[in-house]
Chains A and B, each alone.
Chain A
């Protein structure tokens, strides 16, 4: 077997390791009760369904607002609005949760609460993706309909929906799959009424040490998400660089609703900060753990960043290979709880081990997202260069070092930086793998759980500092390696 194939199989093994490990360690002796399984599955399904539905409705509205800005200097506004749309998706969920918990008081815990949080997190991403699809797929038709005097309603009914229904369905499934497997949000706002499959797995292991049932639940959940992801295979995009006139579809109210939601989110967060600063004296008791946990977050964030950077480069080194690409495209990260418990029961959890296990588990969980966020596209765009280098006689190592690395290092570092920011704001993985608060995010979650929202919000400000530091460390790493390689 060639060394490259060996690396491919090693990466594949790493990604499916939690399943293999747990299935080999625990015999399935008893099944969870049907009523309990049905109840958790129903909750997961309902919250994911409503989250996807509302994200799609809100996202479509905002997308029609985004396409108001397509030409000339207006494109700059479009860029700013798109960044605004993506903020809730790229920031750790902790920030969205703090904002909405501060703003909506009393907050409806349970399925409604999970749906609100997931919708706020995902609608912007849907809007950005849909705006691109509209421009590329029906831009020309929109111009033609506009010239021929069609009304907006007529166009929406007779062109927009019939042509884009498949894309809308795919977007729905995409958000559905993400929300179905979500752990961080239901853990905080699920409450007793909204226990999802993911939370039930967590409770089965953490509270009743019932590994056998937890493994069954995790397998059922993974199979279901995998099935949904198979349905949600991406369609082929039609790319058009021409600026199109989408006057027939434009809705400025879409921008209005985006700005309104963002303003509410910001106000909620600001309200929490003000309230937290009023209780500033209470922070004295947290002074010592705060400093240690700041370094803990930095350590976890940087380690996750480096692991993500390395993993993305390993994928690039193994590129292209048809079966490898197919595996990565179809791969769904295992359940957060399942993955973390696999690491938990492996070896010791004392001393520095959580600082190794948390980044490894986090890397395993977020690699699929990073890959689909655009790493696959980056590598595909370089296939022509790889082919020509190969035909010119270059060996794999030369192609990687001289052709790929200088061009992808910065982008890999950017993705790794995003993963580092996510890791800084993570509390769900750490909560399973560490017995005490090791990071600022865990401290923040502890404060949230004890209803000290103001203090939690103030503490989350330090998470931003930590995230920014980790992000720029990764950008620096990317630049250094990018330059050294060539």
Chain B
């Protein structure tokens, strides 16, 4: 388990108030809650895009909260995906490997592996701005994984996809997470995501974790 402690943040009319919270070391922890419950704020605090004082995130004896954002070595997929539109799918994926100074040979090995698991062969050399929603999402996930992250964080990654594509995407993500054996935190409001992907569900309401449930 990785342990999040003292995650407090006051936004004036809204507060995040999580004294202690455990995230699985293996498999998928889902942070589930309705719109406006504080999921994305928690996500941004964990990533380090927003600051919270006294916050700790102990992961394998390292306090990630004390590290600068780039040093936390997180793989992130935002709701908006935020791919670099001027690059090809391949360049997007290799960007993270280059940022983490992973040797190019190793980066290309990883790229080949991810290409196969996420079925990206047909569009790897195309600029991301011409890709479909599903293809773009796969590139975003591959990019997040190519930097050899400690934890994978996904913020509503299926929200921009239609129902049919969501199902397919969930299956792909499940497969890649199992294959890579990477601890994952998924933030979502969709009960179907919980049903298909979750190993643990933490329910958030009004900025507080109100329920923690392990799924066998």
Contact = CB atoms under 8 A, between A and B. Distances in A.
Contact of A393 (B78, B80, B96): B96
B87 A394 contact: no
B80 A384 contact: yes
A391 B48 contact: yes
B103 interface: no
Contacts of A154: none
Contacts of B48: 391
Interface in A372-407: 384-385, 387-395, 398, 402-403, 406-407
Chain B, interface size category, equals 20 to 34
A387 B99 contact: no
A395 B99 contact: yes
B76 interface: yes
A392 B143 contact: yes
B69 interface: yes
Contacts of A107: none
Contact of B86 (A387, A391, A392, A407): A407
Given A392-B75, A392-B96, A403 B84 contact: yes
Contacts of B84: 385, 389, 402-403, 407
A202 to B, nearest CB: 46
Nearest to B73: A393
A38 interface: no
Contacts of A402: 84, 87, 95
Contact of B49 (A387, A398, A403, A407): A387
B87 A392 contact: no
Contacts of A391: 47-49, 69-70, 72, 74, 76
A149 to B, nearest CB: 37
Given A387-B49, A486-B87, A392 B82 contact: no
Residue picked from A384, A388, A403, most chain B C-beta under 10 Å? A388
B177 to A, nearest CB: 18
Interface string B73-109: 1111010101011110000000110111000000000
B76 A393 contact: no
A136 B54 CA distance: 43
B99 A398 contact: yes
Interface residues of A, number: 17
B157 to A, nearest CB: 13
Contacts of B98: 394, 398
Contact of B70 (A394, A403, A407): A394
A388 B86 CA distance: 15
Interface in B92-134: 95-96, 98-100
Residue picked from A390, A395, A486, most chain B C-beta under 10 Å? A390
B144 interface: yes
B85 A388 contact: no
Contacts of A486: 86-87
B78 A392 contact: no
A385 B96 CA distance: 12
A390 B96 CA distance: 10
A128 to B, nearest CB: 27
A322 to B, nearest CB: 12
A392 B85 contact: no
Given A388-B78, A398-B98, A398-B99, A393 B147 contact: yes
Given A402-B95, A407-B85, A392 B76 contact: yes
A384 B82 contact: yes
A294 to B, nearest CB: 38
Contact of A385 (B49, B69, B73, B82): B82
Residue picked from A384, A393, A406, A486, most chain B C-beta under 10 Å? A393
A167 to B, nearest CB: 26
B82 A393 contact: no
Residue picked from A384, A390, A392, most chain B C-beta under 10 Å? A392
A406 B85 CA distance: 10
Contact of A387 (B75, B82, B85, B147): B82
Nearest to B79: A384
A392 B47 contact: no
Nearest to B77: A388
A402 B84 CA distance: 9
B86 A406 contact: yes
Given A393-B70, A407-B86, A384 B96 contact: no
A478 to B, nearest CB: 14
Contacts of B74: 391
Contacts of B73: 393
14 contacts: A385-B82, A387-B49, A390-B70, A391-B48, A391-B74, A392-B95, A392-B143, A392-B147, A393-B70, A393-B73, A394-B96, A395-B70, A398-B99, A402-B87
Given A389-B95, A391-B48, 19 more contacts: A384-B82, A387-B78, A389-B84, A391-B49, A392-B70, A392-B99, A392-B100, A392-B144, A393-B70, A393-B73, A393-B100, A394-B70, A395-B99, A403-B84, A403-B95, A406-B86, A407-B84, A407-B85, A407-B86
> Ordered nearest first, which 4 A-B pairs have the shortest CB separation?
A394-B99, A392-B96, A393-B99, A384-B82
